[in-house]
Amino acid sequence: MNTIKKYFRVDRREIAFLKFIFEAYDGIVTITTVDPDQGVVLFCIAPGCEDDVEMILQDLKKDILIEQIV
């Protein structure tokens, strides 16, 4: 099965924090920094984990800037 790829813009100071948070949820997503200056990251979401990732993102959005890039 293929991963679901989504791009997000985040506060560049929060990229490492974001990676650490999602690493705690073993295997649901991998995050790659695409453009560190602009804060663009790529989420490769494991099939069946989309709802979990969305729930975590919604919670994180309360404290840090995270917006999906279309």
Number of domain units in the chain: 1
Q: With CA atoms as reference, report the closest residue to 41 among 54, 32, 30, 53.
A: 32
Cα 31 to chain center, whole Å? 6
Torsion of CA 21, 24, 29, 35, to 10 degrees: 40
The CATH number linked to 37 is 3.30.70
pLDDT at 1 over 90: no
Q: Which domain holds residue 22?
A: 4-69
pLDDT of 66 = 97
Lookup: tokens for 47: 């099939």
pLDDT tens column, 8-63: 999 999 999 999 999 999 999 999 999 999 999 999 999 999 999 999 999 999 99
Is pTM beyond 0.85? Reply is yes
